[in-house]
A and B are shown apart, each in its own frame.
Chain A
Amino acid sequence: MSFPSILTIARIPKIRKKLLKPLQGVLAVIACLSLWSCDSRSSVEVATDKGILIMGNSSEPKGLDPHVVSGVLENNIIRSLFEGLVIEHHSKNGEYLPGVAETVERDENSTVWTFHLRKEARWSDGHPLTSEDFMFSFERILTPSLASDYSFMLYYIKGAEDFHKGKTTDFSQVGVSAPDPHTLVVKLLGPLPFLPEITKHYTWFPVPKHIVLKHGKIGEPFTDWTKPENLVCNGSFKLKSWQINDHIEVERNPEYWDARNVGINGIRFLPINNSYTETRMFASNQLHITYRVPPEMIAYSGEHYPKNLRTEPWIGTYFIRCNVDAKAFTDKRVRKAFSMTIDQKSIIDNVTLGKQLPATGLVPAFGDYPASTPVSFDPETAKKLLAEAGYPNGEGLPDIEFLTTDQDSAKALAEALQAMWLEHLGVTVKIRQLEWTTYLDTMFKQEYDLAAGGWIGDYLDPLTFLDMWIEGGGNNRTGWSNEQFEALLDKVQQTGDQATRYRLLKEAEDLFLEERPVLPIYWYTRNYLISEDVRGWNPLILDNHPYKFLKLKAAN
């Protein structure tokens, strides 16, 4: 009998038994693990019960030191731990509520501001919070060795930039003073009617002098003072636990001056990188609020969770930078031609899918500042402009490369734009997708023709979108500059009257749009999902919600 046939008539059951043993073992382990810890209530139900808000926060923060980090997600956590002179109003854009400062006074030029700090303000370890802490904090963020990347938010203060750039080492030259433990006086370079808006930013937050100095010198970067066992703060919450890449949890701070009015007991921040996972977690009741919703899931969420999807305007513009030093884009007619062949509405409806607003100008509208309107979809005029510039039907144009990032959404947008420019102008643009850091590096070196980009405003004033375009500005990166534009901005810095300022800023913006060194595409919206259990959450254009006004109550 040949060898294989012995096997074929072999009795199966015995082999099966021996082979199935390891398999059974594995299944048994899985079963045990499954039965362990069976709470039939969802995470959200348990959390709402305990008054803990669970929020998706996109990624692990770079740190929690308000003077060192920058970033939206870090801001979300820092806002729960620290409080500045004033806090964001819970529902009205551009207004503020008292924070550490009970009252705020300004002189007639809005150049000298006096903040009266409340006497009951304390740090979470019981230590009193005084103007000395603020002086210390301002000095700290302006100390060069700390290497903070957002110190420029304090440059409005007289002498601050000089101190930060090392031109003087005497902090008393800087325009802040503390006449008594509960008064803080700030002298600015020029009139700034909206200084309280600026102080809402975390760069202006106080840090505990007694704790920071315990773990290192004033300008010493990266010390242990932000570790959970050391961190002391003055906000509605204090740090409870920090598991890297897993969660950061904050709990109620009993020393907070308004502790009895804080509506929730704690917040759990989950650094969920994958936006699809986040949406699915929301759908299975694992969190209260998501950080965003991926474009493909927006319509789906609208259908399945209509009461939970929010689409709110956000202070930011998505635009394409033109390298005005590149041969193709030196002529502003070419830039305008490219800008006018972008069908913004089609992109919003078909690619980004987030109900964004078409950017008819650079600065999004808010408050008394209306949006400009020169940017529009006009392929006929575009073709004429291109011909006028010497490239009829796109002939004669050098090779053009469009630099963008590696994200799926960036790719889809780039491909759509590529198709539009081909169709309306006859120009084939090559897409170059680069990994994030390489992309930034390449863009900063101006080694591109067109580059995808955008800008989120830091505070509620058009200046945040316009002062980056000065010659050699660190965030300019287009090679464009214009004397008239800069003259207008200088004038703005001298003016205290809001109406005049807005008029000058509008003039500057219109000049900018006439030159078109960037091609605006849309104004951002934030799409996210929020559980009905969360009460007191209102749309805010800066998206810096003050957590103390929230309440958690199970919705039925």
Chain B
Amino acid sequence: MLRFITNRLLQGIIVLIALYTITFFLIKAMPGDPFTGEKNIAEETKQLMREKYGLNESVFHQYFLYLKNVFTEASLGISTSKAHSVNEMIGQSFPVSCILGLTALSFAIGLGVPIGVASAVRKNSWVDYSGMALAMIGICVPAFTVGPLLQIMLSMKIPLFNVAGWETPRDIILPAITLGLVTTAYIARLTRSGMLEILSQDYIRTAHAKGLPVSRVVCKHALRGGLLPAVAYIGPAFAALISGSFIVETIFQVPGMGQHFVNATKARDPFLLQGVVLFFGLLIVIMNLAADILTGFLNPRVRLGQE
């Protein structure tokens, strides 16, 4: 197991370097530069600004300089669009995104798994249909509709929550629900489908034949296998919650990391963009590793790192 993990982490470093390289050249390929502003500034001034950030050096120089800074000073550079270091921006926004993401994920799992299991167990009954319809709300009604709806109904008409902001723990709830709804839909449906695959297996029939109560059969025997597709989905899902929360963050005024991806792209801010992408890449490597380990744990037949 330890060997497996070390192996994966080493692979992770290769992934991050490949990621850095691709992103670096993609950013260079975008039209416009970080200093394109509405009130156009003189070319000389732009030149000076480029010098300020080291952007007038050759491409190779910039490439290696950034890498050097990452490894020697653990510094991801200085944002060209905001007066802060990238480390500071990620440092302040990541915990927020983490809390939001984890809450959304717990909500999604807490709601999605039971619905998925119930639907599978009571297949093609009204429980199944209504459960699936309920789960699908997350996809049918996109975040930019659910968010304002929740704001209007639970903050304005009935003043239960703040419309927006991130000041009290209560402010976590509405954005987490909005964010988690899509994931709920995926988890519910994937769980249902996974459970259905398992429930038709022979060993389940054996368990029933042995006279075990259904709840025991489901929870102790079927769930482990049935959750596989959902688990494979959760790894990238959590990472996507962190990076894809831009819309929820703007609707609920949450100072998270999702908006950095979009804003840095719009502002052509090479260091902030590179910084969040690398950080995100690191997150993916870790989450996928965790998901794979969990898969191996749930299904002992899956032998990890073999051949």
Contact = CB atoms under 8 A, between A and B. Distances in A.
Contact of B213 (A14, A33, A36, A37): A14
A22 B109 contact: yes
From A65, A69, A243, name the one whose CB has the most chain B CB atoms within 10 angstroms: A243
A244 B81 CA distance: 13
Interface stretch (A3-11, A88-96, A102-110, A416-424): A3-11
B40 A33 contact: no
Given A274-B250, A280-B155, A19 B117 contact: yes
Contact of B121 (A15, A37, A243, A438): A15
B32 A438 contact: yes
Interface in B240-275: 250-253, 255-256, 259, 266-268
Nearest to A30: B173
Given A272-B253, A284-B159, A244 B45 contact: no
Contacts of A284: 155-156, 159, 162-163
A435 interface: yes
B7 interface: no
A50 interface: no
Interface in A146-194: 146-152, 165-166
Interface string A249-292: 00000000000000000000010111011001101101000000
Interface string B87-120: 0110011000000000000110111011001100
B251 A274 contact: yes
Interface in B114-156: 114, 117-118, 121-123, 125, 148, 151-152, 155-156
A65 B84 CA distance: 12
A166 B42 CA distance: 13
A151 B46 CA distance: 13
Contacts of A244: 82, 84, 88-89, 92-93, 255
A70 B35 CA distance: 12
B265 to A, nearest CB: 8
A20 B114 contact: yes
A33 B110 contact: no
A149 B122 contact: no
Contacts of A147: 45-46, 48-49, 51-52
Contacts of B225: none
Interface stretch (A56-64, A373-381, A497-505, A525-533): A56-64
B172 interface: yes
A8 B162 CA distance: 45
A277 B219 contact: no
Interface in B191-220: 199-200, 205, 208, 213-215, 218-219
Contacts of A23: 110-111, 114
Contact of A26 (B106, B117, B170, B199): B106
A438 B36 CA distance: 9
Nearest to B177: A30
Given A245-B93, A277-B251, A33 B83 contact: no
Nearest to B88: A244
Nearest to B209: A6
B39 interface: yes
Interface string A5-46: 011101100111111101101100110011011000001000
B151 A11 contact: no
Contacts, number: 197
A491 to B, nearest CB: 25
A146 B49 CA distance: 8
Contact of A437 (B39, B92, B259, B268): B268
Interface string A75-111: 0000000000000000000000000000000000000
Interface stretch (A339-347, A358-366, A440-448): A440-448
A286 B253 CA distance: 12
A144 B162 contact: no
Contact of B215 (A18, A166, A281): A18
Contacts of A145: 48, 51-52
A226 interface: yes
A163 to B, nearest CB: 13
A62 B82 contact: yes
B38 A440 contact: yes
A18 B125 CA distance: 20
Contacts of A226: 83
Contacts of A16: 118
Contacts of B51: 145, 147
A148 B36 CA distance: 13
Contacts of B114: 19-20, 22-23
A274 B38 CA distance: 20
A475 interface: yes
A436 interface: yes
A151 B44 CA distance: 12
A490 B3 CA distance: 77
B277 interface: no
B1 interface: no
Contacts of B33: 441
A472 to B, nearest CB: 11
A295 interface: no
A15 B214 contact: yes
Contacts of A273: 250, 253, 259
B151 A277 contact: yes
A6 B208 contact: yes
Nearest to A36: B169
Contacts of B237: none
A64 B221 CA distance: 60
**Which 5 pairs show the lowest CB-CB distances between chains A and B?**
A63-B83, A26-B110, A245-B255, A147-B48, A441-B32
21 contacts: A6-B208, A19-B117, A20-B114, A26-B110, A26-B111, A36-B169, A36-B170, A68-B83, A149-B35, A151-B45, A222-B78, A244-B88, A244-B93, A245-B92, A245-B255, A274-B253, A277-B163, A280-B164, A286-B162, A438-B31, A442-B31
Given A22-B109, A244-B82, A244-B255, 17 more contacts: A6-B214, A15-B118, A15-B214, A16-B118, A26-B107, A26-B111, A62-B83, A166-B44, A244-B84, A244-B89, A244-B93, A245-B93, A245-B255, A277-B252, A284-B162, A444-B36, A474-B41
